[in-house]
Structure 1
Protein backbone atom coordinates (compact mmCIF):
# COMPACT_ATOMS: atom_id res chain seq x y z
CA UNK A 1 0.00 0.00 0.00
CA UNK A 2 1.45 3.36 -0.98
CA UNK A 3 2.21 5.76 1.85
CA UNK A 4 0.69 8.74 0.06
CA UNK A 5 -2.83 7.28 0.10
CA UNK A 6 -5.36 9.27 2.14
CA UNK A 7 -6.89 8.47 5.54
CA UNK A 8 -3.83 7.29 7.40
CA UNK A 9 -5.77 7.08 10.73
CA UNK A 10 -8.45 4.90 9.13
CA UNK A 11 -5.86 2.68 7.51
CA UNK A 12 -4.07 2.31 10.83
CA UNK A 13 -7.31 1.43 12.61
CA UNK A 14 -8.18 -1.18 9.98
CA UNK A 15 -4.69 -2.69 10.14
CA UNK A 16 -4.73 -2.74 13.95
CA UNK A 17 -8.12 -4.42 14.08
CA UNK A 18 -7.03 -7.08 11.59
CA UNK A 19 -3.84 -7.76 13.54
CA UNK A 20 -5.58 -7.76 16.93
CA UNK A 21 -7.99 -10.38 15.56
CA UNK A 22 -5.20 -12.43 13.96
CA UNK A 23 -2.54 -12.32 16.68
CA UNK A 24 -4.22 -10.83 19.72
CA UNK A 25 -3.92 -7.37 21.18
CA UNK A 26 -0.97 -8.18 23.43
CA UNK A 27 1.04 -9.81 20.63
CA UNK A 28 0.65 -6.99 18.11
CA UNK A 29 3.18 -4.17 17.93
CA UNK A 30 2.88 -0.62 16.68
CA UNK A 31 5.48 -1.41 14.03
CA UNK A 32 3.36 -4.30 12.73
CA UNK A 33 0.29 -2.07 12.61
CA UNK A 34 2.14 0.65 10.72
CA UNK A 35 3.66 -1.83 8.28
CA UNK A 36 0.29 -3.49 7.62
CA UNK A 37 -1.16 -0.04 6.86
CA UNK A 38 1.77 0.74 4.57
CA UNK A 39 2.99 3.50 6.87
CA UNK A 40 5.86 4.15 9.24
CA UNK A 41 6.02 3.93 13.01
CA UNK A 42 6.45 7.71 13.19
CA UNK A 43 3.27 8.17 11.15
CA UNK A 44 1.45 5.94 13.64
CA UNK A 45 2.60 8.12 16.53
CA UNK A 46 1.61 11.26 14.66
CA UNK A 47 -2.00 10.13 15.03
CA UNK A 48 -2.07 7.92 18.13
CA UNK A 49 -0.10 7.98 21.40
CA UNK A 50 -0.18 4.17 21.75
CA UNK A 51 -1.75 1.06 20.26
CA UNK A 52 -4.76 1.22 22.61
CA UNK A 53 -5.89 4.51 21.13
CA UNK A 54 -5.97 3.29 17.53
CA UNK A 55 -9.41 1.76 18.15
CA UNK A 56 -10.92 4.82 19.83
CA UNK A 57 -11.32 7.27 16.95
CA UNK A 58 -9.28 10.19 18.32
CA UNK A 59 -12.32 11.77 19.97
CA UNK A 60 -14.44 11.73 16.82
CA UNK A 61 -17.61 10.55 18.57
CA UNK A 62 -17.21 13.10 21.34
CA UNK A 63 -16.62 15.91 18.86
CA UNK A 64 -19.68 14.96 16.82
CA UNK A 65 -21.88 14.78 19.93
CA UNK A 66 -20.68 18.17 21.14
CA UNK A 67 -21.33 19.66 17.68
CA UNK A 68 -24.77 18.03 17.64
CA UNK A 69 -25.63 19.52 21.02
CA UNK A 70 -24.43 22.95 19.94
CA UNK A 71 -26.47 22.84 16.73
CA UNK A 72 -29.71 21.53 18.24
CA UNK A 73 -32.74 23.82 17.86
CA UNK A 74 -32.63 26.71 20.38
CA UNK A 75 -35.90 25.76 22.11
CA UNK A 76 -35.07 22.07 22.55
CA UNK A 77 -35.03 20.75 26.10
CA UNK A 78 -31.84 19.17 27.44
CA UNK A 79 -32.78 15.56 26.71
CA UNK A 80 -34.17 16.43 23.27
CA UNK A 81 -30.91 18.28 22.58
CA UNK A 82 -28.95 15.13 23.40
CA UNK A 83 -31.35 13.09 21.25
CA UNK A 84 -30.75 15.45 18.31
CA UNK A 85 -27.00 14.99 18.80
CA UNK A 86 -27.41 11.20 18.83
CA UNK A 87 -29.44 11.43 15.61
CA UNK A 88 -26.61 13.40 14.02
CA UNK A 89 -24.12 10.81 15.24
CA UNK A 90 -26.17 8.10 13.55
CA UNK A 91 -26.19 10.01 10.26
CA UNK A 92 -22.49 10.85 10.25
CA UNK A 93 -20.59 8.20 12.20
CA UNK A 94 -22.62 5.11 13.08
CA UNK A 95 -23.57 4.45 9.50
CA UNK A 96 -24.35 1.10 7.89
CA UNK A 97 -20.93 0.97 6.23
CA UNK A 98 -19.24 1.16 9.68
CA UNK A 99 -21.38 -1.50 11.35
CA UNK A 100 -19.16 -4.48 10.52
CA UNK A 101 -15.96 -2.70 11.60
CA UNK A 102 -17.66 -1.53 14.81
CA UNK A 103 -18.84 -5.04 15.63
CA UNK A 104 -15.37 -6.47 15.08
CA UNK A 105 -13.88 -3.64 17.14
CA UNK A 106 -16.28 -4.30 20.00
CA UNK A 107 -15.39 -8.01 20.00
CA UNK A 108 -11.70 -7.10 20.35
CA UNK A 109 -12.49 -4.63 23.15
CA UNK A 110 -14.62 -7.18 24.97
CA UNK A 111 -11.76 -9.71 24.87
CA UNK A 112 -9.20 -7.48 26.59
CA UNK A 113 -9.49 -5.97 30.07
CA UNK A 114 -7.11 -3.11 29.23
CA UNK A 115 -9.25 -2.09 26.25
CA UNK A 116 -12.52 -2.39 28.21
CA UNK A 117 -11.04 -0.12 30.87
CA UNK A 118 -10.01 2.39 28.20
CA UNK A 119 -13.49 2.25 26.70
CA UNK A 120 -15.04 2.95 30.13
CA UNK A 121 -12.77 5.99 30.55
CA UNK A 122 -13.73 7.23 27.08
CA UNK A 123 -17.41 6.96 27.98
CA UNK A 124 -16.81 8.99 31.14
CA UNK A 125 -15.07 11.64 29.00
CA UNK A 126 -17.96 11.53 26.53
CA UNK A 127 -20.47 12.18 29.31
CA UNK A 128 -18.37 15.03 30.71
CA UNK A 129 -18.18 16.60 27.25
CA UNK A 130 -21.96 16.38 26.89
CA UNK A 131 -22.40 18.06 30.28
CA UNK A 132 -20.11 20.91 29.25
CA UNK A 133 -21.86 21.30 25.88
CA UNK A 134 -25.27 21.46 27.57
CA UNK A 135 -24.01 24.00 30.11
CA UNK A 136 -22.72 26.16 27.23
CA UNK A 137 -26.32 26.16 25.95
CA UNK A 138 -27.42 27.58 29.31
CA UNK A 139 -28.69 24.35 30.84
CA UNK A 140 -28.24 24.41 34.65
CA UNK A 141 -25.41 22.15 35.86
CA UNK A 142 -27.52 19.54 37.65
CA UNK A 143 -29.97 19.29 34.75
CA UNK A 144 -27.07 19.06 32.29
CA UNK A 145 -25.53 16.27 34.33
CA UNK A 146 -28.77 14.28 34.46
CA UNK A 147 -29.46 14.77 30.74
CA UNK A 148 -25.89 13.76 29.81
CA UNK A 149 -26.00 10.66 32.03
CA UNK A 150 -29.32 9.64 30.51
CA UNK A 151 -27.93 10.43 27.06
CA UNK A 152 -24.94 8.17 27.75
CA UNK A 153 -27.32 5.39 28.79
CA UNK A 154 -29.38 5.90 25.63
CA UNK A 155 -26.18 5.89 23.54
CA UNK A 156 -25.01 2.64 25.16
CA UNK A 157 -28.35 0.88 24.63
CA UNK A 158 -28.63 2.06 21.03
CA UNK A 159 -25.01 1.16 20.26
CA UNK A 160 -25.42 -2.38 21.63
CA UNK A 161 -28.59 -2.84 19.56
CA UNK A 162 -26.97 -1.32 16.46
CA UNK A 163 -24.10 -3.82 16.72
CA UNK A 164 -26.47 -6.79 16.92
CA UNK A 165 -26.04 -8.69 13.63
CA UNK A 166 -29.77 -9.46 13.58
CA UNK A 167 -30.60 -5.75 13.65
CA UNK A 168 -30.91 -3.73 10.46
CA UNK A 169 -32.17 -0.49 11.96
CA UNK A 170 -30.03 2.64 12.02
CA UNK A 171 -28.36 4.06 15.11
CA UNK A 172 -30.50 7.23 15.20
CA UNK A 173 -33.86 5.42 15.30
CA UNK A 174 -32.50 3.00 17.89
CA UNK A 175 -31.39 5.93 20.04
CA UNK A 176 -34.87 7.47 19.76
CA UNK A 177 -36.43 4.13 20.82
CA UNK A 178 -34.06 3.88 23.78
CA UNK A 179 -34.88 7.46 24.77
CA UNK A 180 -38.59 6.65 24.62
CA UNK A 181 -37.96 3.66 26.92
CA UNK A 182 -36.04 5.88 29.37
CA UNK A 183 -38.88 8.40 29.38
CA UNK A 184 -41.46 5.64 29.87
CA UNK A 185 -39.47 4.27 32.80
CA UNK A 186 -39.29 7.75 34.33
CA UNK A 187 -43.06 8.14 33.97
CA UNK A 188 -43.64 4.90 35.85
CA UNK A 189 -41.42 5.89 38.78
Structure 2
Protein backbone atom coordinates (compact mmCIF):
# COMPACT_ATOMS: atom_id res chain seq x y z
CA UNK A 1 0.00 0.00 0.00
CA UNK A 2 1.29 3.45 -0.96
CA UNK A 3 1.82 5.81 1.95
CA UNK A 4 0.34 9.29 1.58
CA UNK A 5 2.98 11.95 1.01
CA UNK A 6 2.47 15.71 1.35
CA UNK A 7 2.68 18.34 -1.42
CA UNK A 8 1.10 16.40 -4.25
CA UNK A 9 0.90 19.57 -6.37
CA UNK A 10 4.60 20.27 -5.92
CA UNK A 11 5.53 16.70 -6.76
CA UNK A 12 3.31 16.84 -9.85
CA UNK A 13 4.98 20.08 -10.98
CA UNK A 14 8.44 18.59 -10.50
CA UNK A 15 7.52 15.34 -12.28
CA UNK A 16 5.92 17.18 -15.20
CA UNK A 17 8.85 19.51 -15.79
CA UNK A 18 11.30 16.60 -15.61
CA UNK A 19 9.26 14.57 -18.09
CA UNK A 20 8.72 17.53 -20.40
CA UNK A 21 12.49 18.07 -20.44
CA UNK A 22 13.17 14.39 -21.10
CA UNK A 23 10.42 13.59 -23.61
CA UNK A 24 8.90 16.87 -24.73
CA UNK A 25 5.50 18.21 -23.80
CA UNK A 26 3.56 16.47 -26.56
CA UNK A 27 5.04 13.04 -25.77
CA UNK A 28 4.36 13.31 -22.04
CA UNK A 29 1.04 12.02 -20.77
CA UNK A 30 -0.85 12.94 -17.63
CA UNK A 31 -0.62 9.27 -16.64
CA UNK A 32 3.18 9.41 -16.82
CA UNK A 33 3.29 12.61 -14.77
CA UNK A 34 1.00 11.14 -12.11
CA UNK A 35 2.99 7.91 -11.98
CA UNK A 36 6.31 9.71 -11.53
CA UNK A 37 4.78 11.88 -8.79
CA UNK A 38 3.37 8.80 -7.03
CA UNK A 39 -0.27 9.83 -7.36
CA UNK A 40 -3.27 8.90 -9.49
CA UNK A 41 -4.46 10.71 -12.60
CA UNK A 42 -7.51 11.70 -10.61
CA UNK A 43 -5.24 13.47 -8.13
CA UNK A 44 -3.52 15.24 -11.03
CA UNK A 45 -6.85 16.67 -12.18
CA UNK A 46 -7.64 17.92 -8.67
CA UNK A 47 -4.77 20.37 -9.09
CA UNK A 48 -4.46 21.00 -12.82
CA UNK A 49 -6.84 21.20 -15.78
CA UNK A 50 -4.27 19.84 -18.24
CA UNK A 51 -0.59 19.02 -18.46
CA UNK A 52 0.42 22.47 -19.76
CA UNK A 53 -1.26 24.12 -16.79
CA UNK A 54 1.46 22.64 -14.57
CA UNK A 55 3.88 25.21 -16.00
CA UNK A 56 1.54 28.14 -15.34
CA UNK A 57 -0.46 27.18 -12.28
CA UNK A 58 1.25 29.72 -10.04
CA UNK A 59 0.49 32.60 -12.43
CA UNK A 60 -1.91 34.31 -10.02
CA UNK A 61 0.56 34.33 -7.12
CA UNK A 62 3.34 35.41 -9.47
CA UNK A 63 1.44 38.46 -10.73
CA UNK A 64 0.13 39.33 -7.28
CA UNK A 65 3.66 39.67 -5.87
CA UNK A 66 4.55 42.33 -8.43
CA UNK A 67 1.24 44.18 -7.99
CA UNK A 68 1.48 44.19 -4.19
CA UNK A 69 4.92 45.74 -4.48
CA UNK A 70 3.52 48.54 -6.63
CA UNK A 71 0.58 49.06 -4.28
CA UNK A 72 2.80 49.19 -1.19
CA UNK A 73 5.37 51.58 -2.64
CA UNK A 74 5.60 54.92 -0.79
CA UNK A 75 2.84 57.34 -1.76
CA UNK A 76 5.35 59.82 -3.19
CA UNK A 77 7.18 57.21 -5.30
CA UNK A 78 7.55 57.99 -8.99
CA UNK A 79 5.92 55.53 -11.42
CA UNK A 80 9.29 53.92 -12.10
CA UNK A 81 10.09 53.72 -8.38
CA UNK A 82 6.73 52.05 -7.75
CA UNK A 83 7.47 49.55 -10.53
CA UNK A 84 10.89 48.97 -8.97
CA UNK A 85 9.14 48.13 -5.69
CA UNK A 86 6.98 45.68 -7.64
CA UNK A 87 10.01 44.00 -9.19
CA UNK A 88 11.68 43.68 -5.81
CA UNK A 89 8.54 42.10 -4.38
CA UNK A 90 8.46 39.61 -7.25
CA UNK A 91 12.11 38.66 -6.83
CA UNK A 92 11.33 36.74 -3.64
CA UNK A 93 9.86 33.96 -5.78
CA UNK A 94 13.30 33.32 -7.28
CA UNK A 95 15.54 32.15 -4.48
CA UNK A 96 18.93 30.76 -5.52
CA UNK A 97 17.80 27.18 -4.91
CA UNK A 98 15.06 27.63 -7.55
CA UNK A 99 17.47 28.59 -10.34
CA UNK A 100 17.99 25.11 -11.77
CA UNK A 101 14.26 24.38 -11.84
CA UNK A 102 13.67 27.73 -13.53
CA UNK A 103 16.30 26.85 -16.15
CA UNK A 104 14.63 23.56 -16.94
CA UNK A 105 11.17 25.17 -17.10
CA UNK A 106 12.50 27.87 -19.45
CA UNK A 107 14.10 25.25 -21.69
CA UNK A 108 10.80 23.37 -21.89
CA UNK A 109 8.94 26.56 -22.79
CA UNK A 110 11.55 27.59 -25.36
CA UNK A 111 11.08 24.26 -27.16
CA UNK A 112 7.33 24.73 -27.65
CA UNK A 113 5.83 27.68 -29.58
CA UNK A 114 2.46 27.35 -27.83
CA UNK A 115 4.11 27.55 -24.44
CA UNK A 116 6.25 30.50 -25.57
CA UNK A 117 3.07 32.33 -26.50
CA UNK A 118 1.47 31.50 -23.18
CA UNK A 119 4.55 32.74 -21.30
CA UNK A 120 4.43 36.02 -23.23
CA UNK A 121 0.74 36.39 -22.38
CA UNK A 122 1.53 35.71 -18.73
CA UNK A 123 4.14 38.45 -18.61
CA UNK A 124 1.87 40.86 -20.52
CA UNK A 125 -0.81 40.14 -17.94
CA UNK A 126 1.59 41.01 -15.13
CA UNK A 127 2.43 44.28 -16.88
CA UNK A 128 -1.27 45.05 -17.32
CA UNK A 129 -1.96 44.43 -13.64
CA UNK A 130 1.01 46.58 -12.62
CA UNK A 131 -0.23 49.36 -14.92
CA UNK A 132 -3.67 49.12 -13.31
CA UNK A 133 -2.06 49.41 -9.87
CA UNK A 134 -0.17 52.50 -11.07
CA UNK A 135 -3.40 54.03 -12.36
CA UNK A 136 -4.95 53.38 -8.94
CA UNK A 137 -2.06 55.40 -7.51
CA UNK A 138 -3.00 58.28 -9.79
CA UNK A 139 -0.49 57.71 -12.59
CA UNK A 140 -2.02 58.80 -15.90
CA UNK A 141 -1.75 57.01 -19.21
CA UNK A 142 0.42 56.43 -21.10
CA UNK A 143 2.93 56.71 -18.25
CA UNK A 144 1.35 53.85 -16.25
CA UNK A 145 1.53 51.38 -19.13
CA UNK A 146 4.99 52.47 -20.25
CA UNK A 147 6.43 52.18 -16.72
CA UNK A 148 4.85 48.76 -16.14
CA UNK A 149 5.95 47.34 -19.49
CA UNK A 150 9.45 48.75 -19.08
CA UNK A 151 9.63 47.11 -15.65
CA UNK A 152 8.58 43.75 -17.07
CA UNK A 153 11.18 44.13 -19.84
CA UNK A 154 13.82 44.71 -17.16
CA UNK A 155 12.61 41.69 -15.19
CA UNK A 156 12.46 39.42 -18.25
CA UNK A 157 15.95 40.41 -19.34
CA UNK A 158 17.35 39.88 -15.84
CA UNK A 159 15.57 36.53 -15.54
CA UNK A 160 17.00 35.31 -18.85
CA UNK A 161 20.45 36.32 -17.66
CA UNK A 162 19.88 34.65 -14.25
CA UNK A 163 19.08 31.26 -15.82
CA UNK A 164 21.87 31.44 -18.41
CA UNK A 165 24.55 28.78 -18.13
CA UNK A 166 27.48 29.94 -16.07
CA UNK A 167 25.66 32.87 -14.47
CA UNK A 168 26.63 33.17 -10.80
CA UNK A 169 25.00 36.51 -9.97
CA UNK A 170 21.60 36.47 -8.32
CA UNK A 171 18.38 37.85 -9.76
CA UNK A 172 18.08 40.96 -7.54
CA UNK A 173 21.51 42.14 -8.66
CA UNK A 174 20.64 41.53 -12.32
CA UNK A 175 17.34 43.39 -11.93
CA UNK A 176 19.22 46.33 -10.39
CA UNK A 177 21.58 46.36 -13.38
CA UNK A 178 18.58 46.46 -15.69
CA UNK A 179 16.94 49.26 -13.74
CA UNK A 180 20.17 51.28 -13.89
CA UNK A 181 20.27 50.77 -17.64
CA UNK A 182 16.64 51.84 -17.97
CA UNK A 183 17.20 54.96 -15.88
CA UNK A 184 20.28 55.85 -17.90
CA UNK A 185 18.14 55.80 -21.04
CA UNK A 186 15.67 58.24 -19.55
CA UNK A 187 18.41 60.63 -18.37
CA UNK A 188 19.99 60.87 -21.81
Deviations 1:165-186 (CA, angstroms, capped at 9, x unpaired):
3222221221111011012122
Structure-2 residue corresponding to 1:171: 171
Give the 5 Å matches for 1:40-189: 40-59=40-59, 60-90=61-91, 92-188=92-188
**Cα pair distance change 1:176/1:70, threshold 3 Å:** same
Deviation at 1:3, TM superposition (A): 6.8
Deviation at 1:64, TM superposition (A): 1.0
Verify the 8 A CA contact 2:48 2:57 in the aligned structure 1: no
Deviation at 1:88, TM superposition (A): 2.0
**What secondary structure does 1:52 align onto?**
helix
Deviations 1:88-129 (CA, angstroms, capped at 9, x unpaired):
222x21110100000011111111111111111111111111
Deviation at 1:58, TM superposition (A): 2.4
The answer for unaligned runs of 5 or more in structure 2 is none
Deviation at 1:148, TM superposition (A): 0.6
The number of residue pairs the alignment matches comes to 186
Separation of aligned partners in 1, 2:158 and 2:40: 36
Give me the CA root mean square deviation.
Answer: 1.7
For the pair 1:8 / 2:8, whether they are aligned, the reply is yes
Separation of aligned partners in 2, 1:185 and 1:26: 42
**What secondary structure does 1:124 align onto?**
helix
Separation of aligned partners in 2, 1:171 and 1:177: 10
